[in-house]
Structure 1
Amino acid sequence: MIHPRTLRVDYSKTTSVVCVVGSELNVNINRSAPPSSKFFSVKCSSTVQYSISPPPHTTSHLSPIPLNGNSVLLISMSHASESENDSKLSLQYYGESKEVLGRALLHLTAVELSLDVDADRDGVVEKNNPNKGYWKWGPDGHGAILLVNCDSEWTYFKKPDSDHNTVSKVSDLKDMSVMVLRTRGPAKLPKGYKLTMHISQGDAESVRVFRARSSEVGSNAMSGNVLYNFFVRDYPLVLSREVLSQEVPYTGGVAEMNFYVEGLKFPDKDFDGLISINLSLLEPISEGLPETPIFTDKVVFRVAPWIMTPNTLQPVEVFVCSTSDNYQFLKGMKHIVSKSGLKLKICNEYMNRGDRWMQDELEFGYIDSPHQSFPVVLDSPRDGDLMDFPYNELLGPDFGYVTRVPQRTDVSSLDSFGNLEVSPPVTVNGKNYPLGRIIIGVAFPTAIKGRNMTKVVQDFLWAQKVQEPIALFSDWLLVGHVDEFMTFVPAPDRKGFRLLLASPDAGYKLFRGLQNDGHGQAKLFEGLKDEEPITVDEILSHDDLQAENNYVQSCIDWNRDVLKRELGLVDEDIIDLPILFKLVEDTKALYRAVAFFPDMVNMIVLGKNLGIPKPFGPKVDGCCALEAEMCSLMEGLGLSCTFIDDFASYHKRLGEVHCGSNVRREPFDFKWWNQEM
């Protein structure tokens, strides 16, 4: 890529000029000529290349050439200089009679300058990629990637590394993107010339740049023993909120200097994720006057988005709380986690302080780049008694943390992350979503007293861009979470998954079938302490309950249509689960729905193993009819059902298995930057 630069010269004067290899100096010959000049000639060292535009008729530029009002001298140098001013070019002017009127002499020093990044996203900082200054999505895209440095290298007195103003451990450098300044030229620049690196005020809020005090080769900078050093003193801060521009060393000869670029902010409503860093070569004009830029190189980074992981990805570890009353729940969870060959992390009561809703407090995701990837927990604004768990227990080396803090008056039950899910990858009307789509629950548009997920969280989710959110109607529920009526499970066919929806219609169909087969006196909740059993006949005779479930079914059907449209699904991709609801009065004297018996859709998905709330349904021949129906529906997909007793410790508190657990999963194999936008 040619970088043209207009150069003014003075006749009867010698001018020292720095020429950057790959740039072109443009001299308006007429503008610099003495008065009455009619002709000119050019002479130069063999290291200098030049041409004249428009081209003169003569083949020799040593003889006087007629001076055209538009004559431009185009000067370039293809190799770096060995020493200062080692190349020369003279421009001689003549009058009407070919008498010499003046002579301009240029002493030229050529340097190679390149600010380089991993613009082709292969993990290597290549030299002078022509696309390094632009971002483009897709497999044939370009532009470097930057991680938010939101993990913590410290175990005690920890805070995210991006909150530190220094590089305190060299291991922290692996979370940053390498940027290399490559130079070639004489031992030093001519007097007064200098290199500066600079960023805009807006970008300075989102990025910070450190440099290696000693030269490092870019491709080897992060290898060897350097990562094992504990304390670091050789990585001074170059650019930050307080320092937008700073001179950087020119070391002479053939040199590479490594810089480490650190992301500070995720994309959000006020930040599109793009960051530009500039390198400029400044030329002195005169003592006391500012230098002027004669060459600028630019690189562009995009900050990696926070990415959620759907149920179809491989689980890594499971998180639950231990409380004084959830022994049966923990027993079931330990069984299914062990059966799945996973780790179980138990948050004990001294930490959870009785807050058992692990799903509601946090959501696991990750960030990814060609050089580094690590999990990042998104902390919800609900801030119950589990509020310290994500920061104190999860934040650490290669485990990041992010949150969005709204005004407390803006927070409702819909800000708990049982109300935040993500679909598996889908294609909708020809548009591919290889990382799936985020799903949140909100109020119906016409609701006067409706609750919504707070705006700062919604803005954050939308700004990540790669998992375009879908808003469902969940405010009809007392708790208001989408995981109360939907989830996804893996499948061996079709789209690779099934959408499971709670369905009162399916529940009534099942119970009517039991009644028709003579099992109307079979009881729900039989054997449960402090719970009144109810027969199938009694349920079917309860007209108000039927009306309430008709209302619930209409709400779920609304969401069913939205999900079919936004995820490109057909009815064959959806399985209806037999679940009944009832309406209760909330604190605002509004009637909202809760599950009538344990809500089987509110399950934990661990590969082919499903941990499902034990429904305590009517028994036929000693078997729970609801469990049998669930097994029949799931085992056809090769999935194994484990029923977990959460009745007293979760269901009675308006939650279920999914609400009380959380799963960290493997990241997608698909790289987000290859997504077509």
Structure 2
Amino acid sequence: MRTSHAGRLVLALTATGAVLAPTSLAQAAEPLRVDLRSDVNRDGRVDVTGNSDTSGEDSWSIGRGALFLPNIDDDSRRCKATGPGGRPLPDAKLAACNDALDTKVNGTADAADLARVRSVPMKNVPSDAKGSIKVTTGAAQTRVFLKRSGAWTPVTAGTRLTAKELRSGVEFGVEAKDVIRDSRKWDGRTVIRLTVTSAAGSTSDSLTLRVAPLLTHHHLQQAQQLMVTKLPGNDPGAKMQQTFVKDLAKEVRQAGITKPLVTLTKYQDVWAQDFVEPAYVSMTGPGGHRQVMRVMLRSAQDREAGRELYEKLRGPNIGVVQAKGPDMKGWETLNSMGNLETIPPYALGGRSFPAGRVIMGERKDSKVRPSQEIRTLLKSQGLQDPLLLDTSWLYVGHVDEFVQFLPADTPRGWRLGVADPEAGLNLLRDAQRDGHGKTKVFSVPASAGAVPKETIDQALASRYLVADNTMAAKRIAANVELLKRETGITDAEIVRVPSLYTRGTEDERSGTRTPTLSRLGGTVAPQAAEEYGQQSFLARNRDASAAPAEPTVETAAYIPGAVNGIMLTRDRYLAPRQWGPVIGGKDIFTNAVTAAYTRAGLKVSYIDGWYYHLGMGEVHCGTNTLRDASAAWWKP
């Protein structure tokens, strides 16, 4: 957007009309013109000689418009985790430190985190001309640097550009001080104006940039590294989890993922999926290379394990963000990040989600939702508007307990995977019909701790098992219908995975809900696996003497939930070991789950996650995944 105000001007008559020009005869043939440009077409180059970056410089859309990054990483690792005397810093101070706080250009010599803005050389600028730069929109969230004599210096109200600099063209670097948190307060847009003033008058040009949106990963992005908590100690529970970490590392290597596991060790919270959601921001940097910054999105709760994101992971090209409101007290499980998954890219009915779309669970029956702050942050990015599914029927209440998204060689590029309780019941019924009713439901070895001993006959005769799974099937079907309406996915694109659920934990004496393995409360202290079993699994698999069902029955996985696994590569899936009934030397649930994923074109391997299962979670709940974000999210 160009504006001008002439000072001493004369009217020059020409054959085609009249133009306003400065009084200087040497410049009368060409009026003074300021032209400020940015990387509107996102190719990593600011075009000051052609027209590729001129169209749309004053607007922004998903497919076109200049981007800049929030400078929230810690390139020089200057952010400390402790204060005077080595005392741990409070959460607020941990979160307050990042590169956006100083007026230096941090990181590599090429300053790849800075978005470039250039002025077109003004060959006819008067010798007395001076230039000034001002952020007219978004100033509180934006910092601009000037490249002068090969070094970057911050632009201030007193910064002036010389006529010599204006003649040769000026380069600026732009960074944001934060991500978009609430688009009603700041929608991420920044308007920068360059004004040139001389005795002849003044003229200016403005352009618009928008901070790159904070995006969550989807399963079409290749896994690059896995995260897991590693427990110390020699007690049975710790040993089980240590064995899981070793087995996970082996599976990761066999899948071709070369980076070692990121092991979190300080706070002993084994639910690595719940206290963080890996996300990212990106733009095309100088030279056309994608500049990606990982952003670890800490759960809205001040879960202690989230501190390790700042203490251990924050660094070059890795930042941490938490959306936390004043109401965040206690442990509402819907705010755990196991309750946040992402539909892969799709378009339907005029709406496009080129970077995918977030799903989260809500307790529709009791009208409880994830925190307003995290939903506002996600919606404010403008690309992944969260879709809420009903998880009222689940005790923990996370979407990863019953739904997943699987890469597929189809026009859509992905399939929907869902738990199928009816198929799970049919497996037990078929086994009973074939004379295997006396077979134990669970084949877990006794060394795993308290192992349920009920038979198939006893399970099917339970007062609750059939009713709970009939209810779960109806609830899942309603959620599937919502996903079909929102995405356009068809029944032919749905992978139904045999599963079983049963109602949640109750304390035998008081009848009150009791969280286990601290899934709902955060930190896990190493304990014996037998203790987990007695307080969780056996309690929620109660027999006909149990109390009457509540109006809203909340369930958890009975057989380890196969959909609660890890997508390692496009064609390799890691599922929790089923430990189901063994008939004829084969686990009938393992066979059925393998068949379902094989039909979807996936190779399935299994890992023993019984340790997590006892706490009403599975192997997905105990891990997290860093995925490749180098692709242009703005391209469908």
Q: What's the TM-score, normalizing by structure 1? A: 0.76
Which residue does the alignment assign to 1:161? Answer: 99
Structure 2 residue 501 is the aligned partner of structure 1 residue 557: no
Which residue does the alignment assign to 2:255? Answer: 340
Q: Is the 8 A contact 1:359 1:658 kept in 2?
A: yes
Structure 2 residue 298 is the aligned partner of structure 1 residue 379: yes
Which residue does the alignment assign to 2:162? Answer: 249
Report the alpha carbon displacement of residue 304 of structure 1 after superposing the two structures with TM: 0.9
Q: Aligned pair in 2 of structure 1 residues 361, 171: CA closer, same or farther (>3 Å)?
A: farther
Q: Secondary structure at the match of 2:112?
A: helix
Which residue does the alignment assign to 1:498? Answer: 415
Q: Secondary structure at the match of 1:333?
A: helix
Report the alpha carbon displacement of residue 503 of structure 1 after superposing the two structures with TM: 2.0
Report the alpha carbon displacement of residue 344 of structure 1 after superposing the two structures with TM: 3.3
Report the alpha carbon displacement of residue 621 of structure 1 after superposing the two structures with TM: 0.7
What is the rounded CA distance, in whole Å, between the counterparts of 2:597 and 2:70 in structure 1? 40
What is the rounded CA distance, in whole Å, between the counterparts of 2:27 and 2:451 in structure 1? 98
Report the alpha carbon displacement of residue 276 of structure 1 after superposing the two structures with TM: 0.7
Report the alpha carbon displacement of residue 481 of structure 1 after superposing the two structures with TM: 0.7
Provide Cα deviations, 1:336-359, integer angstroms capped at 9, x if missing partner.
Answer: 11211222324253x2x2201111
Q: Aligned pair in 2 of structure 1 residues 416, 6: CA closer, same or farther (>3 Å)?
A: closer
Report the alpha carbon displacement of residue 248 of structure 1 after superposing the two structures with TM: 3.2
Q: Secondary structure at the match of 1:606?
A: strand
Structure 2 residue 96 is the aligned partner of structure 1 residue 133: no
2:339 corresponds, among 415, 419, 425, to 419
Q: Aligned pair in 2 of structure 1 residues 88, 76: CA closer, same or farther (>3 Å)?
A: closer
For structure 1, which runs of at least 5 residues remain unmatched after alignment?
A: 9-14, 18-24, 28-47, 54-72, 78-83, 90-107, 217-233, 286-292
Q: Secondary structure at the match of 2:378?
A: helix
Which residue does the alignment assign to 1:362? Answer: 276
Mapping 1:269-308, distance limit 5 Å: 269=182, 270-282=185-197, 294-308=202-216
Q: Is the 8 A contact 2:612 2:619 kept in 1?
A: yes
Report the alpha carbon displacement of residue 181 of structure 1 after superposing the two structures with TM: 2.7
Report the alpha carbon displacement of residue 168 of structure 1 after superposing the two structures with TM: 4.7
Which residue does the alignment assign to 1:331? Answer: 246
Q: Is the 8 A contact 1:328 1:646 kept in 2?
A: no
Q: Aligned pair in 2 of structure 1 residues 184, 426: CA closer, same or farther (>3 Å)?
A: closer
What is the rounded CA distance, in whole Å, between the counterparts of 2:166 and 2:374 in structure 1? 51
Q: Secondary structure at the match of 1:534?
A: coil
Which residue does the alignment assign to 2:557? Answer: 595
Q: Aligned pair in 2 of structure 1 residues 462, 327: CA closer, same or farther (>3 Å)?
A: same
Mapping 1:96-135, distance limit 5 Å: 111-127=32-48, 129-131=53-55, 133-135=57-59
- What is the identity, as a one-letter code, of the residue corresponding to 1:262? E
Structure 2 residue 133 is the aligned partner of structure 1 residue 197: yes
Report the alpha carbon displacement of residue 375 of structure 1 after superposing the two structures with TM: 2.5
Which residue does the alignment assign to 2:539? Answer: none
What is the rounded CA distance, in whole Å, between the counterparts of 2:229 and 2:363 in structure 1? 30
Mapping 1:500-539, distance limit 5 Å: 500-526=417-443, 527-528=445-446, 529-539=449-459
Q: Secondary structure at the match of 2:111?
A: helix
Q: Is the 8 A contact 1:137 1:673 kept in 2?
A: no
Q: Secondary structure at the match of 2:437?
A: coil
What is the rounded CA distance, in whole Å, between the counterparts of 1:412 and 1:110 in structure 2? 64
Which residue does the alignment assign to 2:318? Answer: 399
1:175 corresponds, among 113, 127, 136, to 113
1:644 corresponds, among 579, 586, 607, to 607
Q: Is the 8 A contact 2:264 2:308 kept in 1?
A: no
What is the rounded CA distance, in whole Å, between the counterparts of 1:660 and 1:430 in structure 2? 38
Provide Cα deviations, 1:498-542, integer angstroms capped at 9, x if missing partner.
Answer: 212112211111111111122212212233431221111111112
Which residue does the alignment assign to 2:541? Answer: none
- What is the identity, as a one-letter code, of the residue corresponding to 2:565? M
Q: Aligned pair in 2 of structure 1 residues 583, 131: CA closer, same or farther (>3 Å)?
A: same
Q: Aligned pair in 2 of structure 1 residues 316, 52: CA closer, same or farther (>3 Å)?
A: closer
Which residue does the alignment assign to 2:70? Answer: 148
Which residue does the alignment assign to 1:94? Answer: none
Q: Is the 8 A contact 1:153 1:171 kept in 2?
A: no
Which residue does the alignment assign to 1:659? Answer: 621
Report the alpha carbon displacement of residue 570 of structure 1 after superposing the two structures with TM: 1.4
Q: Aligned pair in 2 of structure 1 residues 253, 595: CA closer, same or farther (>3 Å)?
A: closer
What is the rounded CA distance, in whole Å, between the counterparts of 1:252 and 1:604 in structure 2? 55
- What is the identity, as a one-letter code, of the residue corresponding to 2:148? R
Mapping 1:618-629, distance limit 5 Å: 618-629=581-592
Q: Aligned pair in 2 of structure 1 residues 442, 171: CA closer, same or farther (>3 Å)?
A: farther
Report the alpha carbon displacement of residue 602 of structure 1 after superposing the two structures with TM: 0.6
Q: Is the 8 A contact 1:435 1:668 kept in 2?
A: no
Q: Secondary structure at the match of 1:122?
A: coil
For structure 2, which runs of at least 5 residues remain unmatched after alignment?
A: 81-96, 232-237, 286-290, 507-511, 515-549
Report the alpha carbon displacement of residue 284 of structure 1 after superposing the two structures with TM: 6.4
Q: Aligned pair in 2 of structure 1 residues 485, 183: CA closer, same or farther (>3 Å)?
A: same
Q: Is the 8 A contact 2:496 2:596 kept in 1?
A: no
Structure 2 residue 568 is the aligned partner of structure 1 residue 606: yes
Structure 2 residue 370 is the aligned partner of structure 1 residue 453: yes
What is the rounded CA distance, in whole Å, between the counterparts of 1:659 and 1:650 in structure 2? 8
Q: Is the 8 A contact 1:614 1:643 kept in 2?
A: yes
Report the alpha carbon displacement of residue 136 of structure 1 after superposing the two structures with TM: 4.2
What is the rounded CA distance, in whole Å, between the counterparts of 1:284 and 1:561 in structure 2? 69
- What is the identity, as a one-letter code, of the residue corresponding to 2:140? E
Provide Cα deviations, 1:131-171, integer angstroms capped at 9, x if missing partner.
Answer: 353224365x4x21111112221134364211222225553
What is the rounded CA distance, in whole Å, between the counterparts of 2:211 and 2:13 in structure 1? 41
Greater CA deviation, 580-589 or 253-262? 580-589
Q: Aligned pair in 2 of structure 1 residues 536, 430: CA closer, same or farther (>3 Å)?
A: farther
Residue-pair matches, total: 555
Which residue does the alignment assign to 1:634? Answer: 597
Q: Aligned pair in 2 of structure 1 residues 516, 303: CA closer, same or farther (>3 Å)?
A: same
Mapping 1:209-228, distance limit 5 Å: 209-214=144-149
Provide Cα deviations, 1:292-312, integer angstroms capped at 9, x if missing partner.
Answer: x73120111121112222123
What is the rounded CA distance, in whole Å, between the counterparts of 2:264 and 2:4 in structure 1? 67
Q: Which has the larger radius of gyration?
A: 1
Report the alpha carbon displacement of residue 629 of structure 1 after superposing the two structures with TM: 0.4
Provide Cα deviations, 1:407-432, integer angstroms capped at 9, x if missing partner.
Answer: 22386211111001011222324644
What is the rounded CA distance, in whole Å, between the counterparts of 1:176 and 1:5 in structure 2? 29
What is the rounded CA distance, in whole Å, between the counterparts of 1:329 and 1:664 in structure 2? 19
Q: What's the TM-score, normalizing by structure 2? A: 0.80
Q: Is the 8 A contact 1:333 1:611 kept in 2?
A: no
Q: Which has the higher contact order (CA 8 A, sep 6+)?
A: 2
Which residue does the alignment assign to 2:93? Answer: none
Report the alpha carbon displacement of residue 112 of structure 1 after superposing the two structures with TM: 4.7
Q: Is the 8 A contact 2:138 2:188 kept in 1?
A: no
Report the alpha carbon displacement of residue 579 of structure 1 after superposing the two structures with TM: 1.6
Q: Is the 8 A contact 2:130 2:197 kept in 1?
A: yes
Structure 2 residue 143 is the aligned partner of structure 1 residue 208: yes
What is the rounded CA distance, in whole Å, between the counterparts of 1:456 and 1:511 in structure 2? 44
Q: Secondary structure at the match of 1:171?
A: coil
Q: Is the 8 A contact 2:419 2:497 kept in 1?
A: yes
